[in-house]
Amino acid sequence: PPMENLLNLDEMEEVAAKQVSKKAWAYYYSASDDKVSKHFNNQVYRSILLRPRVFVDCAKCELDTTVLGHKLKTPIYVSPAAMARLGHPSGEAGIAEACRSFGAMQVISNNASMTPEQIVKDAAPDQIFGWQLYVQIDRKKSEAMLARINKLKAIKYIVLTLDAPVPGKREDDERTGMTGRTAAVTSGVKAAERSSDDTPNPTEGSGGVGQQLFAGTDPSLTWTETLAWLATQSDLPIVLKGLQTHEDAYLASLHAPQVKGIILSNHGGRAMDTAPPAVHTLLEIRKYCPEVFDKIEVYVDGGIRRGTDAVKALCLGAKAVGLGRAALWGLAAGGVDGVRRTLQILNDEMKTCMRLLGVESVDQLGPQHINTRMTEQQ
């Protein structure tokens, strides 16, 4: 269908689900165990109520913001997600193209289905990327990747993912991985067309796509050893991804200025099932160690489906809000135009929400605009 006929992210997901292979659907859709965290990630936003102020001029409304000192046209960014070509041949480069049209930031997965060089090739001068690292047991592999990343001007920071030292038990993915049809893996992209053999290429057989991608990932990382090692490999700022408690947020803030940001995330419910949604962690930080917000930037992801969801996270102190599956569904439904439509829908919804709240810029949003009483009781 024409992308402009799709009015919200749920409709985008419905179209995407019909378009992609069973294997891609299972890998993208899956989450750990009973998917409690995956569902709660979104549900929790429903229990936060907005507090609109009236009789204020909201004729203008801008989404402009900054992340780590870089200007962005929207606080919505694309989270690192592996294997975009499973969903559409334009892959991560297609996502980059869509982000370019919207002044949005993209974090490239360690397990992207294209090389970082390919993905940033056509970057606009002011386009911002992060690169996400899963530290490999064979450190030389990670060191070689970091050396390449250091050379790419468009990549401004490294995202070190910490919430999945081992993959969660994702049964949809495992089931399809064992019985599904083979890796048209990169959705029509034949091995010979792949520009580089160092992008992952899971094949049919044992376990799901997730299990295969995680083979080789180092589960023995620590605050001191790993950050010290990373400092010898790159001067880029570090953003830690997958923090789920105020204790860890506080520890991260002690590692400023090497660590410049944290992403509160439970990996879209794909790691620890029944782990808290980012909103709960935001509330914990506000309660127990609010100084964290002054020392490092805080971002969130998980369960964003509406502009109001994103606005609520911003009200609670998030600087930017990530899209995992929503971006993949956009890509699967309509390639570059599908991701553009996804970003357009969310931007429009956010602007409507902000105007109805009586604010005209992102920096005016604050806790005064929401009521978290029900959330806090949970």
Catalytic residues: 134, 163, 267
Q: Which residues contact 330 (CB under 8 A, 6 or more apart)?
A: 12, 16, 98, 338, 339, 340, 341, 342, 343
Site for ligand FNR in 218-247 (CB under 6 A): 241
Which of these ranges, 45-53, 119-127, 224-232, 320-328, lies near ligand FNR under the rule CB under 6 A? 320-328
Q: Nearest approach, Cβ of 76 to ligand FNR (angstroms)?
A: 11
Q: Nearest approach, Cβ of 281 to ligand FNR (angstroms)?
A: 13
Query: Which of 25, 27, 77, 102 is in the footprint of ligand FNR by CB under 6 A?
Result: 27
Cβ closer to ligand FNR: 27 or 293? Answer: 27
**Contact letters (x/-) for ligand FNR, 125-154, by CB under 6 A?**
-------x----------------------
Cβ closer to ligand FNR: 268 or 334? Answer: 268
Which of these ranges, 139-147, 175-183, 226-234, 325-333, lies near ligand FNR under the rule CB under 6 A? 325-333
> Helix, strand or coil for residue 353?
helix
**Applying CB under 6 A, does 302 fall inside the site for ligand FNR?**
yes
**Applying CB under 6 A, does 177 fall inside the site for ligand FNR?**
no
Q: What span, in angstroms and rounded, lies between the C-alpha atoms of 274 and 73? A: 34
Q: What span, in angstroms and rounded, lies between the C-alpha atoms of 16 and 328? A: 9
Q: Please provide residue 189's backbone torsions phi and psi, each rounded to the nearest 5 degrees.
A: -90, 115
Q: Which two tokens stand for residue 122?
A: 């056509």
Q: Please provide residue 226's backbone torsions phi and psi, each rounded to the nearest 5 degrees.
A: -70, -40
> Helix, strand or coil for residue 139?
helix
Rg for the chain, CA atoms, rounded: 19
Query: Which of 21, 74, 106, 161 is in the footprint of ligand FNR by CB under 6 A?
Result: 161
Q: Please provide residue 147's backbone torsions phi and psi, each rounded to the nearest 5 degrees.
A: -65, -40
Q: What span, in angstroms and rounded, lies between the C-alpha atoms of 62 and 193? A: 42
**Applying CB under 6 A, does 301 fall inside the site for ligand FNR?**
yes
Residue in this structure with the two tokens 């969660």, named with its chain if needed: 168
Which of these ranges, 14-22, 56-64, 187-195, 266-274, lies near ligand FNR under the rule CB under 6 A? 266-274
Which of these ranges, 178-186, 249-257, 324-332, 356-364, lies near ligand FNR under the rule CB under 6 A? 324-332
Cβ closer to ligand FNR: 26 or 365? Answer: 26
Q: Nearest approach, Cβ of 199 to ligand FNR (angstroms)?
A: 12
**Applying CB under 6 A, does 115 fall inside the site for ligand FNR?**
no
Q: Nearest approach, Cβ of 164 to ligand FNR (angstroms)?
A: 7
Q: Which two tokens stand for residue 162?
A: 């910490």
Which of these ranges, 226-234, 290-298, 312-320, 322-330, lies near ligand FNR under the rule CB under 6 A? 322-330
Site for ligand FNR in 178-207 (CB under 6 A): none
**Applying CB under 6 A, does 41 fall inside the site for ligand FNR?**
yes
Q: What are the DSSP E strand ranges found in the chain?
A: 49-50, 65-67, 70-72, 76-78, 106-108, 129-133, 155-161, 238-243, 259-264, 297-301, 320-323, 370-371
> Helix, strand or coil for residue 230?
helix
> Helix, strand or coil for residue 39?
helix
In 3D, which of 314, 283, 377, 375 has the Cα closest to residue 65? 314
Q: Nearest approach, Cβ of 368 to ligand FNR (angstroms)?
A: 27
Residue 196, number of CB atoms within 10 A of its CB: 9
**Contact letters (x/-) for ligand FNR, 73-112, by CB under 6 A?**
------xxxx--------------------------xxx-
**Applying CB under 6 A, does 37 fall inside the site for ligand FNR?**
no
DSSP designation for 80? P
Q: What span, in angstroms and rounded, lies between the C-alpha atoms of 200 and 208? A: 13
**Applying CB under 6 A, does 265 fall inside the site for ligand FNR?**
yes
Per rule CB under 6 A, count of chain residues that contact ligand FNR: 26
Give the residue at shortest CB distance from ligand FNR.
Answer: 324
What is the residue-wise DSSP string for 274-288? TPPPHHHHHHHHHHH
Q: What span, in angstroms and rounded, lies between the C-alpha atoms of 246 and 248? A: 5
Residues near ligand FNR (CB under 6 A) are: 27-28, 41, 79-82, 109-111, 132, 161, 241, 265, 267-268, 270, 301-304, 323-326, 328
